[in-house]
């Protein structure tokens, strides 16, 4: 996938419609450089990560879990049982 498509996909995922349209226009008119696209891609990647983390936290809150518990939080014997189950 080309850099422009990756950036456009991230803008669509973030629902930034006007920015998506404007970037397409800039690309068609060849008014944006590869360096600018790389910088925009880095910023949008961080924004996508933040949005996904916020979505996870929201889902935990809606599920009314008292706290987040990962596999690393379980006791070693429980980990062995989980690994043996797979």
Give the pLDDT confidence of 27-72 residue by residue, as tens digits: 999 999 999 999 999 999 999 999 999 999 899 889 887 777 777 7
Q: How far is CA 42 from CA 4, 7, 36, in A?
A: 12, 9, 10
Residue span of the structural domain in which 71 resides: 3-85
Report the 10 Å Cβ neighbour count for 73. 9
In this prediction, residue 78 carries a pLDDT of 57
**The residue to which tokens 């669509």 are assigned:** 12
- Please compute the mean of the pLDDT values over residues 6-27 and round it to a whole number: 96
Length of the chain in terms of residues written: 86
Please tell me the total count of domains within the chain: 1
**The residue to which tokens 């809606």 are assigned:** 62
């Amino acid at each position: 996938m080309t850099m422009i498509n990756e950036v456009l996909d991230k803008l669509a995922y973030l629902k930034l419609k006007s920015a998506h349209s404007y970037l397409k226009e800039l690309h068609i008119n060849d008014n944006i450089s590869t360096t600018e696209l790389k910088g925009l891609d880095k910023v949008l990647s961080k924004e996508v990560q933040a949005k996904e983390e916020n979505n996870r936290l929201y889902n935990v809150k809606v599920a009314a879990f008292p706290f987040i518990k990962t596999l690393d939080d379980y006791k070693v014997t429980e980990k062995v049982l989980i690994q043996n189950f797979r």
